[in-house]
Each structure stands twice: as structure tokens, then as C-alpha cells.
Structure 1
Amino acid sequence: MDQRIINLFDEYTHQPLSRKEFMERLVKLTGGLALAMSALSILDPGYAQAATVAEDDQNLVSQEVSWAGEAGVTMKGLLVQPKGKKKRGAVVVIHENRGLTPHIKDVTRRVAQAGYLALGVDALSVFGGTPANEDEGRTLIGKLDAQQNLSNYLRALEYLRTRPDANGKTGCVGFCWGGALANRLALADPKLNAAVAYYGVPPKDEDPARIKARLMLHYAALDERVNAGMPAWEEALKKAGVQYQQYVYEGVNHAFNNDSSPARYNAGAAKLAWERTLRLFKEQLS
């Protein structure tokens, strides 16, 4: 697909660009409405086709859970773990900027399938939960109070540490909006053991010396928007002596791990990044 179309879609999903303006520009790029709709069918999420772990997988136990958030808010999420009585390392899964979508729920099941207690947090619990309309979800993400949201995720980690089926070790993995938050959780929680950020905007003006977790950063080489902050963040991590691993995947776009968006998904990069992610969790959370 034309890189200009992918860049436009990235702008649409991350900037205050209306659906109407996006479609008008997409029609101009593709040369007609029919071609625009064809491109959109590849760009827009196809959740059913991309699901890799069945919701009723007989080897997993899934449940909706809740915990106390900031300012009296009840936070909710999807908790998934393998069957069997065993204390496991726990992982918070942090969604993209549209909420706890079917794709992120599937990723949560993938983490559980790998042997962990996985919690897919719904950051939009503050507004009653993730809406079915993704445009609405993106709008609500922009209305979250950043500090309150960070606190709600810190409380999610504490909730996991208090569970009798957890071994006390915790990690997080985030994608896009969630990737940025994974960095911030590492900065804010000295008890965090591992943090993995997929194409997350690096923090600015933060002191990484506070980070005690092992950090893993996955970037897409074609993701100019996010990568603009990569050199400064890496230099800060080096100066602070933080244990981190950074990988840049050549020839792939932002959201290369999202298999519900065929135009940006890259199977090879996604597989390699996931193997590296699980290796870190095995080292730090077992």
C-alpha cells in the first residue's frame, strides 16, 4: 500500500482529524471513492479475522474484574490466566488509543497463554468503559487526566500483587498510547520488574534514573512521528545506567504488531518482537 495512505491513516488515528476530512483526503490519494473504500477495508480493524486465541479457550480462565481507581472511580479489566493452581508472574496489558478493543483482549489472552496472569485494563472505565465506536474511544482517550490515568494503572499493578494467584512479580506491555504509558509506569513504579513498549512516544524531561524495571523498546523504522523522540530517550537511558533493550524493525510501520490492521501488520516483525517480549517476561517474572 502507498506509504502516503498509511501515513494519513496514522494521522487520522493519532491526531484530531475528523472522519470526514480523513475520507476526503483518502479519496484524493486513491483517486476515487471505490478505491478509497478498498484501502479502508485493509486499514480498518478486522477483529474476528485476527483473533488468535479463542475467547472460550479451554486452557484459559477469563473473568471481568474491578479495583478501586482514583477519585472514587471503579476500574475494570479482563483478567486471563492458564488453568491450574499456581502462582504466576502478572502482566498489565495497556491498550492503544481506542480503549480495550477486541484486539487488545486477544493480546491479553496471548500473554496468559504464555503462562502469566494477564490483566487488560480498560482505561476508559473512567467514562463507563470502552465504546463500540472507535472514533468515540479515541476522543475519550484524549479527555483522560494523565495523572489520574497513571494512578489507575499503578493501582492495577498493586491489585495484581495482592492476588493470591500471583507470585508478586509484575510487568507491563503497551502498544502505541499504551507503549508511551509503559515507559511512564517504569518511571513511576520502582516495584515493576519488566516494562515493554511497542512504538510508544518516549517521555520528555523525565529522569530515567528512577527506573528499576528491565525495559524493552520496540520501534518501527517507518514510524517517523514516534521515532523523533527515540534518540534523546535512549541517550537518557544510557546516562542513567538503565538496563534496557531497544529494537528497530526495518521496513515496517507503526502498529506492526496489530494483526487486525493488515495494511500495517508485519508478521515477521510481530513474531520476533513477541518472542523477545516473552523472553524478557520469562527472565524477570518467573
Structure 2
Amino acid sequence: MSRPQITQAMIDAYDEYTHLTLDRRGFMEKLTKLAGTSAAAAAIAPLLAANSARAAIVPEDDTRLHTEDITYPGENAEMKGYLARPADAQGPLGAVIVIHENRGLNAHIRDVARRMALEGFVALAPDFLSPLGGTPEDEDQARQMFRQLDRDQTVANGVATVAFLEDHDGTNGRVGAVGFCWGGGMVNQLAVNAPALDAAVAYYGAQPDAEEVDQISAPLLLHYAGLDERINAGIEDYRDALDAAGKEYTIHVYEGVNHAFNNDTSEARYDKEAADLAWQRTVDFLKENLA
């Protein structure tokens, strides 16, 4: 059986469903119109969505790593998280907060944390749904839960995560953050609200308000997808504000790729060439700033 043809309009519909106001029923109706039949839509939908079965690039039991589920103090409540670090570390390491998409702390983000730990960092993937009980198995439920989060409390929990890693006995006190989609927006908010943050990497994340940019002290590395019109609409204002405030930043736009191009569990949107290049740039940037 040949692979169904996936168009940009289908990918855009999925983005509308996962990030804006389109519900599951509306998405499937729209996808059916685009695909021609309900059977074709049913075949295409899983290719647009993330597939947790493809999440483990680095095995959970990789002997090169020490991994554990932890809890630590948030702003007003306990935070859950997944901590990964090299098993053979000979001294303190730079720390990296790995911030999830709007699906919460799932298998893919845990795997990204392991990948980051293999690069020589203490990597912590927080569960920002902790105040609501933590990330559920059902991704649609998780997406709905993000609407219930208190924005100020969520940012404060991110700031508390920076403080936790600053004082962690396995780190050198220098803390960076990398986030994807919702997490990319959270990295931008951390850059604004956490003066102790030493490096910030945002993948296709919503930009902060221009009047907040002056509060940023960390150097920024900003990755954007060329076809991501929704997020890219804010690039120029962000660039102008960063220039006006004299901030240190680098912007990369990867032409011809979609939002979530780094997520290798999403077959339709993942782009290996862009993802590999962005990852190497990210690792180099974090090593430069967290040593």
C-alpha cells in the first residue's frame, strides 16, 4: 500500500487543531475534505500526529546515563521532572532545562533529555502540568490541560527550575534552557523572567512582548521553521526589540520545513536535515555558554 499524500493544507489543519481553536471533530471533517474520503483521512491523521512508539532514539536503560524521575520545589507546589546525566561524569556539568511541547512530559521529551545528557550536560525535563497532577497518557487531554494553567505561576515554576539546577550538586551552577513549540515560548519567558539563566534556545516558540525584551540577559538562539506562518509572524518585532535593547541573539530560519520539524516522532513534519543542523547549533551554543 502506498503512503498517503500529505499536503501543506493538511499540515496547517493539524497545526490549527493542536495549537488553536479547531477541535478533534472539526479537524477530521476538514481533513476528510482535503483527503477526499474519510478512509484517506483516517490513514493520514496518524502520520500528522506524534507516534510515541518512535520516541526512543536513546534507550531508557542506556548504561552511559543515570536517569531518574524526581520532584523538586516549584513556586507554590511540588514539580515533577525527569533528570538525566552522564554516568561517568568526573565533575560538575552545565545544566540544561528541556521544556516540552503542549503535550507535556512525554516519552519523546524524555528521550530529548537523554540526548542532551549524552552531549555532556545535566538535563532536566520538567513537567509543567505538575500543578494539575502531571502529564496524562492521553495527548488530547494534555493539550486541554494547558488551557487551565495559570501563566504567571507557570513562569514562576520555570524560574524555580533554574534555581533548583543552579544549586544541584551535579552542576557547575550555569543553567541553560531549550524548548520546543509551547516550550519554545516558555524559554522566551524564562529569558525575560529568570536573570540567572545563562543561555536560551527556543525552537519555533512564541515571542515575548516587545516591552519585556529589555529584561533579557541570557544570549538567545532562536530556531524557526520557514513554513510556520503562525509563529513567524512575530519574528520581525522580536528582532527589532532585541536590536533596540542591544541583546545577544542569533536567529535561524530553516526554509521549506514545518513547525515541529525537530520532533522525529511526527512523520509528516519532521525534517532530519533541519533537525540535525539545529541540534548541532544548539549543542555548540550551550557548550559555549554553560562551560
- Judge which range, 60-69 or 243-252, deviates more: 60-69
- Which one-letter code corresponds to 1:16 in the other structure? T
The residue aligned with 2:3 is none
TM-superposition CA deviations, 1:41-87 (whole Å, max 9, x none): 2112122224210000000000111112233x210100000013420
Counterpart pick for 2:185 among 180, 183, 187:
180
Aligned residue number for residue 137 of structure 2: 132
SS at 2:222 equivalent: strand
**Equivalent residue number for residue 10 of structure 2:** 5
CA drift at 1:277: 0.2
Residue 60 (structure 2) aligned to one of 43, 55, 60? 55
- AA aligned opposite 1:78: Y
Counterpart among 269, 272, 278 of residue 283 in structure 2: 278
Aligned to 2:224: 219
CA distance in 2, matches of 1:40, 1:207: 38
Cα distance per residue 1:246-281 (max 9 Å; x no partner): 000000000000000010000000000000000101
Mapping 1:1-286, distance limit 5 Å = 1-71=6-76, 73-84=77-88, 85-286=90-291
- Please give the alpha-carbon distance, in whole angstroms, between the structure 1 residues aligned to 2:219 and 2:34: 43
User: What CA distance in whole angstroms lies between the structure 2 residues aligned with 1:241 and 1:254?
Assistant: 28
| Count of residues in Structure 1 that have an aligned counterpart in Structure 2 | 285
Distance 1:274 1:49 in 2: 18
Where does the alignment leave 5 or more consecutive residues of structure 2 unmatched?
1-5
Task: Spell out, residue by residue over 1:181-213, the C-alpha distance to the aligned partner (whole angstroms, 9 max, x if none).
Answer: 101101111111100000001112433222111
Whichever residue aligns with residue 254 of structure 1, its letter is H
Cα offset, 1:14, TM superposition: 0.3
Check conservation: 2:195, 2:218, Cα contact below 8 A.
yes
Q: Matched residue of 1:66: which SS?
A: strand
Structure 1 residue 101, shift from structure 2 partner: 1.2
- The sequence identity of aligned pairs, in percent, is 49
Partners of 2:203 and 2:223 within 8 A in 1: yes
- The range that moved more, 201-210 or 88-97, is 201-210
Which secondary structure does the structure 1 equivalent of 2:33 belong to?
helix
| Deviates most, 102-111 or 202-211 | 202-211
- Could you tell me how far apart the structure 2 residues matched to 1:8 and 1:214 are? 34
The 2-side partners of 1:115 and 1:23 are apart by 43
Q: Which ranges of structure 1 fall in alignment gaps of 5 or more residues?
A: none
Give me the whole-angstrom Cα distance separating, in 1, the residues matched to 2:46 and 2:125: 27
Residue 24 (structure 1) shift: 1.2
Residues 185 and 205 in structure 2, CA contact (< 8 A), matched pair in contact too:
yes
Q: Give the aligned CA root-mean-square deviation in angstroms.
A: 1.0
User: How far 1:20 sits from its partner (Å)?
Assistant: 1.1
Give the CA deviation at 1:219.
0.3
Alignment partners' CA distance in 2, 1:202 and 1:153:
16
Amino acid at match of 2:258: N
